[in-house]
Structure 1
Amino acid sequence: MKRRSWVAAAAFGSLALLLMVLGAAIRPLVIPDTPSPTVILNETEIGFVQDMTAHHQQALVMVQRLRQADDPTVLRLAQQIADSQRLEIGMMLGWLRLAGTTSTNPHPMAWMHDTDHQAQSSHHQATSTTAAPTAAAMPGMASRAELDALSAASGRDADTLFLKLMQRHHYGGIAMAQAADEQLDGGPVEQIARDMISTQSQEAGLIGLLLAQRSAWTPE
């Protein structure tokens, strides 16, 4: 009798365990889990990444339009800039996809509330009225007329114009990255902003040396 009771108890326990397992398995089908959404990027990070993606894309356009350069050093620098910024564009677009947002900022530079950085970089901005609205809103962007002039230039003139436009472009990118660094509190977006500050500062310094060699350096 005791053996029978023990067997029944064991069978009941096994049945209860099986029901628990089945219940756990079908629960998501009956009562969908609604976990709190994970914030991939905050508003400042999204705005910075969107705008810096557009900023980098123009740098690639500038490199593409340097078709008739004369100095191999300038060509190597242009390729270095294109390689590093293309890699960063891919990374930033990946973040935006994970965040479920678009790559284009409907309100360019709205995230950049630090007016001191804007003031410091304002003299590096393109002032031509032919620039697109997005270009006009971002520091350092070249106008359409300047890009067309770069396409038409050749030899030493192409080298010099490219260096001047890219130096201004880098100054603008550095200002944007510094503003992001000040507003953010850790994370991969702040880290890439710091990397941009370091890389573009070094490249801007090299550009200054190359311009000085061409007697085209005119401090503002």
Structure 2
Amino acid sequence: MPRWMRGAALTSLAFVLLVLGAALRPLVLPETHTATPILNSVEIGFVQDMTAHHQQALIMVQRLDRNIDPVVVRLADQLDDTQRLEIGTMLGWLRLANASPVPTHPMAWMHTDDAVPHQHSAAVAMPDKKGPDTIMPGMATMAELDALAAAHGRDAEVLFLQLMFRHHQGGIAMAQAADELLPSGPVKETARSMIQAQGQETGVMGMLLTQLGAAPLP
């Protein structure tokens, strides 16, 4: 075989081996792609905790005597509708992130590696305690929920407004913490929306308590 033909054959063989090697490379050395998580640990923890927090608000509405001032009933129904919608949104996020809807370590998201403040607000108090014994702020005790279920008339109005006022204050504190820790994204925007909406609702509840001659709980 002439030298030039041998050279052309070797060149063709080298090209074939190059193409074959490129095709087989993913099988021999699989490429690793790290998927970007849908939610980080702060977002998952906040959404889990806020879902549980909202669910207790629904329990308060369910235990409220309906034979009371229609203004308080309408407020309760408004709170119920808003928090149900937000629960649905948050459960959807957790489902997409393949995360449990139930928090295993309430409020621990404030202390994870992803919890890096992006703002500086003196209004946000970060609890130092960490772990499963940490209690979400504003939550009512079982005794308080039982007392609400047994209350009637003005007593029911006052206790409901007091419990929900304190509950909203706790929810606002949690949302402020999430807003401070998250740089951007839909969870941060939802936290900011909660701060605004629950702040307005807290103002209404405070006004109604004043009209009833009662004060918010400590």
Same fold, TM exceeding 0.5? yes
Question: 2:36, 2:216 → 1: CA distance?
Answer: 50
Contact 2:138 / 2:167 at 8 angstroms: preserved in 1? yes
Secondary structure of 2:139's counterpart equals coil
TM-score (normalizing by structure 1)? 0.75
Counterpart residue number, 1:151: 149
Shift of 1:101: 0.9
Give 4+ residue runs of structure 1 displaced > 3 Å after superposition: 28-35, 113-116
The count of aligned residue pairs is 185
Q: Structure 2 counterpart of 1:165, which letter? A: L
Secondary structure of 2:102's counterpart equals coil
Counterpart residue number, 2:196: 198
Question: 1:219, 1:167 → 2: CA distance?
Answer: 8
**Pair 1:82–1:33, CA change in 2 (3 A):** farther
Shift of 1:117: 1.7
**Pair 1:219–1:150, CA change in 2 (3 A):** closer
1:68-83 equivalences under 5 Å are 68-83=66-81
TM-score (normalizing by structure 2)? 0.76
Could you report, residue by residue, the CA deviation over 1:103-146 in whole angstroms, capped at 9, with x for unpaired residues? 11111101124995256xxxxxxxxxxxxx77x61000000000
Contact 1:68 / 1:153 at 8 angstroms: preserved in 2? no
Counterpart residue number, 2:170: 172
Shift of 1:38: 2.4
By percentage of residues, which structure has more helix?
1
Query: Unmatched 5+ residue regions in structure 2?
Result: 1-22, 112-116
Counterpart residue number, 1:97: 95
Matched, 1:184 2:206: no
**Pair 1:32–1:94, CA change in 2 (3 A):** farther
Query: Unmatched 5+ residue regions in structure 1?
Result: 1-23, 120-132
Q: Structure 2 counterpart of 1:45, which letter? A: E
Matched, 1:117 2:125: yes
Counterpart residue number, 2:16: none
Contact 2:162 / 2:216 at 8 angstroms: preserved in 1? no
Secondary structure of 1:111's counterpart equals helix
User: Sequence identity, in percent?
Assistant: 63
Shift of 1:39: 1.1
